[in-house]
Amino acid sequence: MQPEISVIIPVYNGAGFVSKAIDSVIGQEYPAHEILLVDDSSTDATPLVLDDYGDRIVRIRIPHAGVSAARNAGLRRASGDYVAFLDHDDVWFKTRLKKQAEAILKYPAIGFFCCDHIVSDSHAAGGDLAHFSRLRNKKQINFDAPLAGDPFGLLLREHFVGTASAVVLAKETADKVGEFNPADEISQDYDYWLRCARVTGFVVMSEALLYKRTHSQSLSADLVGAFNDHRTVLSRTIERDGDYLRKNRLWDTAHLELARTGYAIGNLWFEKGDKKEAFRIYARTLREHWAARSAALFLFTVFKKLCRIAFLDRVRRASKRPQRGGV
């Protein structure tokens, strides 16, 4: 039996992007069971854009409450036995659903499928980049088969999924996990995937099957906010799943990732030019997550920044030094 895949597209003020997202679903080689457009009370021309699609889409309008509430509304309405998510500013390749439907038929006991994607940044000088090429722990993932390692532990170490637009989820899995947490403004998908990892296996597909757009309107553009939200999700996970973490020797891993995220936030402040705030965050992170591996990471991070400060100071002093010579 072929899987019936409901597609959920949350949209808020996406008039300039959403038609490309919808068209990429309509143009799939494997047809979607239904396309659910959840309008989070857009105030721009989004409703007019959606009018053009008529009965090719199912429109749901909700009071403005954020992307989590929109996805939850789509999950409640979905009638397929699988659901796929697509952010309104992303675009699927035409084989996206076909390839993931094939994986579903091959591994019917698995409830979570995701794929690689091309990160497309309109402001980037270096061009597009495959998401999986940037993973720290890529060698720990056996692609195109059920994960051999614990997906929960792998997700704790790194958010390898990357984007909701890459995910197909069994409706049965979604029913077990429940709803997205509306309190998470940016990392709501990471929280949800961690919860999925407690109830089902994962298949991570190596092929890139979509474009993930990053631009000034996207939530992911706020890096400091994204890292802070990531820390919140990790802290909640430690509190909620502490027994599981201890039993599976993941307690230290979770705290190391909290520390790593804290140092990353400090690095962002350093790059913004606020060195005082950066070193304050480094010190606070070390106090909150005191352990050998965290301390080593602290020393490495701070040493690099101090070397950079010393180098830049030498360059400035050299530039101010009177030039010798002349006739």
Q: What is the DSSP track for 21-48?
A: HHHHHHT-SS--SEEEEEE----SSHHH
Q: What is the pLDDT of residue 281?
A: 74
* Overall average pLDDT of the 198-212 stretch: 97
The band of 259, judged by pLDDT with boundaries at 50, 70 and 90, is confident
Q: What is the pLDDT of residue 30?
A: 98
Q: What is the 3-state secondary structure (H, E, C) of 158-182?
A: CCCCCCHHHEEEEHHHHHHHCCCCC
**324, part of any domain:** no
Backbone angles phi, psi at 299, to 5 degrees: -60, -40
- Percent of the chain whose predicted confidence (pLDDT) is above 90: 61
Tell whether 132 and 236 lie within a shared domain.
no
- Assign 251 to helix, strand or coil: helix
Tell whether 66 and 214 lie within a shared domain.
yes
Burial of 63 from C-beta contacts in 10 A (0-12 / 13-18 / 19+): exposed
pLDDT 10s digits, 17-49: 999 999 999 999 999 999 999 999 999 999 999
Residue 112 · residue 203 · CB < 8 Å: yes
Q: Which residues have a Cβ under 8 Å from the Cβ of 163 and sit 6 or more positions away?
A: 87, 90, 117, 131, 189, 212
Quick one: tokens of 161? 């999924």
Tell whether 215 and 197 lie within a shared domain.
yes
The percent of the chain in helix, strand and coil, each rounded to the nearest 5, is 50, 15, 35
Residue 4 · residue 83 · CB < 8 Å: no
> Above 80 in pLDDT, residue 168?
yes
**165, part of any domain:** yes
Q: What is the pLDDT of residue 218?
A: 46
Residue 258 vs residues 34, 185, 244, 295, 321: alpha-carbon distances, Å: 39, 18, 17, 13, 44
Q: What is the pLDDT of residue 156?
A: 92
Residue 7 · residue 32 · CB < 8 Å: yes
Q: How far apart are CA 22 and CA 43, in angstroms?
A: 19
CATH number of the domain bearing residue 87:
3.90.550.10
Tell whether 252 and 216 lie within a shared domain.
no
Tell whether 58 and 207 lie within a shared domain.
yes
Tell whether 178 and 287 lie within a shared domain.
no
**326, part of any domain:** no
The band of 206, judged by pLDDT with boundaries at 50, 70 and 90, is very high
pLDDT 10s digits, 233-247: 888 998 999 999 999
The band of 292, judged by pLDDT with boundaries at 50, 70 and 90, is very low
Q: How far apart are CA 118 and CA 104, in angstroms?
A: 22
The band of 219, judged by pLDDT with boundaries at 50, 70 and 90, is very low
Neighbours of 284 (CB within 10 A): 13
The band of 10, judged by pLDDT with boundaries at 50, 70 and 90, is very high
**287, part of any domain:** yes
Tell whether 189 and 291 lie within a shared domain.
no
Tell whether 52 and 166 lie within a shared domain.
yes
Structural domain that includes position 303:
223-319
Q: Using alpha carbons only, what angle is made at residue 71 by residues 70 and 76, rounded to the nearest 5 degrees?
A: 100
Domain boundary among 174, 203, 220: 220
> pTM higher than 0.85 for the full model?
no
**327, part of any domain:** no
- Percent of the chain whose predicted confidence (pLDDT) is above 70: 82
Quick one: tokens of 146? 């059920």
Tell whether 242 and 171 lie within a shared domain.
no
**107, part of any domain:** yes
Q: How far apart are CA 56 and CA 272, in angstroms?
A: 46
Q: Mean pLDDT for the chain?
A: 86
Tell whether 116 and 18 lie within a shared domain.
yes
**In total, how many domains does the chain have?**
2
Tell whether 64 and 191 lie within a shared domain.
yes
Tell whether 234 and 214 lie within a shared domain.
no
* Overall average pLDDT of the 273-295 stretch: 68
Work out whether strand 34-39 and strand 58-61 pair parallel, antiparallel, or are unpaired.
Answer: parallel
Domain boundary among 220, 250, 281: 220
Domain boundary among 187, 220, 253: 220
Q: String of b and e for 242-278 (b: at least 16 CB within 10 Å)?
A: eeebeeeebbeebbbbbbbbbbbbbbbbbeeeeeeeb
**76, part of any domain:** yes
